Amino acid sequence: MILRRITEHVKAQNWFAVFLDFIIVVVGVFIGIQVANWNDAQQSNAQVADLMTRMVSEATTTRSEMARYKEFHQEIYNNAFQLALALKDKETCIAMGDELTILIIGISDFPPPRFSLSNAEQAMETGSMAHIQSAGVRTGIQTITDEMEFIDRQWQRYVSVKQNANQEAHRAAGVSLTGRGEMDWGASVGYDANSYELLTPENICGDTEIVALAANVAVLQKIYVNYLREVEKALDDYLATLSEGIEEQ
C-alpha cells in the first residue's frame, strides 16, 4: 500500500507527499526494530533471572553439602592425628587393642567431593554468562568454578598418598577379617572392631617408617580440610555476589 502511494505521488511529482511517505516508512521500520529489540531484551532478562535463581539454589545446596563434607574430613583428620601419635610408643600402641584396629582401618578414609555447580559451569560453557549485567557476578562464577575444580584436583593428588599409606599400614599390621561383626560400608568414619583383627600389631607400633607415613597422612588431611574451609568462604562470597547481582539485573 505504501509503495503504491509513493508511486502515485512520484508520478504526480508531489515531492512533499513523497517525503512524508518516506518518513512514515523510516519511522515504521525504526519502531519495528525497537520493539523487536525490546522483546529480545525482555526475553534475555527473563532467561538471565532464571539462570541466576538456579545458580543461587545450587550454590545454597552445595554450601550445605560442603559443610557436612568438611566435618566428615575433620573427623578423619582427628583420627589420623590420633593414629600418628599412638604409633610412636610401641607398648602403649599395642595395648590400645580394638582402638588401634579401628584407627588403622580408617587410615584410607578419603571420600571424594561430589558437588555440582552445573548451572554456573553451563553459563560459562554456553556463553550465557555474557548476558549477566553484573561484572561481579561474572567474576564470581569464574572464581567459584575454579575453586571447585581445585578441590577435585587436590583430592586426586592426595588420594594416592592415602592409598599407599593404607597398603603399607595394613600390610605391616597384618589386617585381617574375622568373619564376625557387621560390614557397614555406609558408616560415617566408623567400623565394627569385631570385623577386623591385627595379626602383627608389633610390626607397626614404634616403626619409624610407619610413624612417618601416618604423620604425613595426618598433615595432608589437615591441608585438605583447610582447603575445604577456603572453598566454604568462597561459596559464601559467591552467594552474596549472586544476591547483589539479582537486585542489579
In a domain, 7, yes or no: no
pLDDT in tens, 110-129: 899 988 899 999 888 888 88
Q: Could you give the CA distance from residue 78 to residue 44 in angstroms, rounded to a whole number?
A: 50
End-to-end CA distance of the chain: 42
Give domain status of residue 5, yes or no. no
As a whole number, mean pLDDT of residues 50-74 equals: 93
pLDDT value of position 134:
86
Mean pLDDT of 205-212: 93
Task: Decide if 6 is inside a domain.
Answer: no
Number of separate domains in the chain: 1
Cα 115 from Cα 108, distance rounded (Å) = 21
Determine the average pLDDT of the residues in 201-208.
Answer: 93
Residue 3 lies in a domain: no
The residue with greater pLDDT, 130 or 229, is: 229
What is residue 188's predicted lDDT score, i.e. its pLDDT?
45
> Between 58 and 19, whose confidence is greater?
58
Which grid coordinates are listed for 104? Answer: 588403622
The domain in which residue 87 lies consists of: 14-248
Q: Is residue 9 part of a domain?
A: no
B/e letters for 150-186, b = 16+ CB within 10 Å, e = fewer, are: ebeebbeebbebbeebbebbbebbebeeeeeeeeeee
Cell numbers placing 237: 562470597
Question: Residue 2 domain-assigned?
Answer: no
Question: Would you state the cell numbers that stand for residue 73, as one nine-digit string?
Answer: 574430613
pLDDT (tens digit per residue) in 142-192: 999 999 999 999 999 899 888 889 999 999 999 998 876 555 544 445 577
